[in-house]
Amino acid sequence: MLTMRILVLFIHVTAVIVALGGSLFSTFALTPILTGELEPPDRVKVVRRVIRRLGAIVLSALVILVATGMLNVLYVGAISLLLAIKLVLVVVVIVLAIHQYANLGAKIWRVSENGPAPELAPLLARFRRVGLAQGAIVLAIVYLSLGLTRVAGPIAIG
């Protein structure tokens, strides 16, 4: 049966899939293919637009995640140690996402305005590193969440 609680959880999980899936696709599928298939000027054009669009998607997903996450905690009805650790990691992920998309992403957008530039490569490398760190922390959060759903009462699965 579809209850408000399940709906909130559904939106929460969907937002994780969108945010994490988008980042993973960009890092492991799109970027290597672009490097192999396109010449630097065309690649830069695509990369800067992908970063900008992905930034909007990931950061919007983060807002939805926080909003539905807070409602989820209310439904779970307890703040356990696992949840406290998860919340700290969530803060770290949001900080990394702001740094990655709103700071590095904006810099990449500015630097690549007139095509490839020498300072672009280190910025893209940093962007990728921050993205990977963020992805790893999100996976840790997902793992902690599995623990939470199994420990919590009425919504527990299995």
- Report the interface residues with another protein, using CB under 8 A: 52, 55-56, 59-60, 62-63, 65-67, 70-71, 73-74, 77-81, 87, 90-91, 94-95, 97-99, 101-103, 105-107, 109-110
CB of 117 to another protein, least distance (A): 15
Neighbours of 144 (CB within 10 A): 16
Q: Which is nearer to another protein, 102 or 139 (CB)?
A: 102
In the complex with another protein, the residue whose CB is nearer, 63 or 146, is 63
Give the whole-angstrom CA distance, residue 105 versus residue 25: 17
List of residues 6+ apart from 78 with CB closer than 8 A: 152
CB of 101 to another protein, least distance (A): 6
Q: How far is the CB of 70 from another protein (least distance, A)?
A: 6
Judged by CB, which is closer to another protein: 87, or 132? Answer: 87
Query: Considering the complex, what minimum distance in angstroms separates the CB of residue 23 from another protein?
Result: 14
Residues found in the chain: 158
Closer Cβ to another protein, 33 or 102, answer by number: 102
Q: How far is CA 59 from the centre of its chain?
A: 7
Q: Output the six-digit token pair for 65.
A: 């995640």
Helix boundaries (H) for the chain: 4-25, 31-37, 40-76, 81-97, 105-111, 120-151
List Cβ neighbours of 143 (8 Å cut-off, separation of 6 or more).
Answer: none
Of the two residues 31 and 72, which places its CB atom closer to another protein in the complex? 72
Smallest separation (angstroms) from another protein to the CB of 15: 11
Rounded CA separation 39/149 (Å): 47
